[in-house]
Amino acid sequence: MRLLAIIIAAGLACGSATLAVAQHRHGHDASAPVAPDTRQFVKFPKPLIEHTLANMRDHLQTLQEIQSHLALGHTDVAAKLAETRLGMSSLGLHGSAEVAKYMPQGMQEAGTAMHRAASRFAITTQEAGVTGDLKPVFAGLAEITAQCVGCHAGYRLK
């Protein structure tokens, strides 16, 4: 239930929710007591843990490449990266069907929401290449990132 609330909050006001989480963490220095870890532990077979974490690092790298290409005005490249590496087209790439069966439902939903947000972002970004209006592109990027944040807040593998 808590995760659902986080995801809904992230979806409704993703920018501010994300910022609030980041600021909260920054407020603590290293010596201060850490908030209890309330994330749900999800048991994956060992090889799938390593596989999933490698995918995760690719997700982060993709976000970085998308941002670099947006800064260069390469909206077409950014759109293609989002669709093929994070979007619905990436499901085969990440072996999602194999991994999904070990995930609780809320985690599966967060994953699906991320793939959908990335595919929507790809379309928005292609349109921005025509209109020149980048505002919806940044909003779309925040929607993708909100799904990363929401799932990370709810689940852990280790």
By beta-carbon proximity to ligand HEC, the closer residue of 60 and 93 is: 60
CB neighbourhood size of 5 (10 A): 11
By beta-carbon proximity to ligand HEC, the closer residue of 12 and 60 is: 60
First-last CA distance in the chain: 22
Q: How far is the CB of 11 from ligand HEC (least distance, A)?
A: 13
By beta-carbon proximity to ligand HEC, the closer residue of 142 and 144 is: 144
- Radius of gyration (Cα) for the chain, nearest Å? 16
Residues at the interface with ligand HEC (CB under 6 A): 53, 56-57, 59-60, 63, 86, 107, 110-111, 114, 144, 147-148, 151-152, 155-158
Question: Virtual CA dihedral for 24, 2, 12, 120, nearest 10 degrees?
Answer: 110
Q: How far is the CB of 138 from ligand HEC (least distance, A)?
A: 15
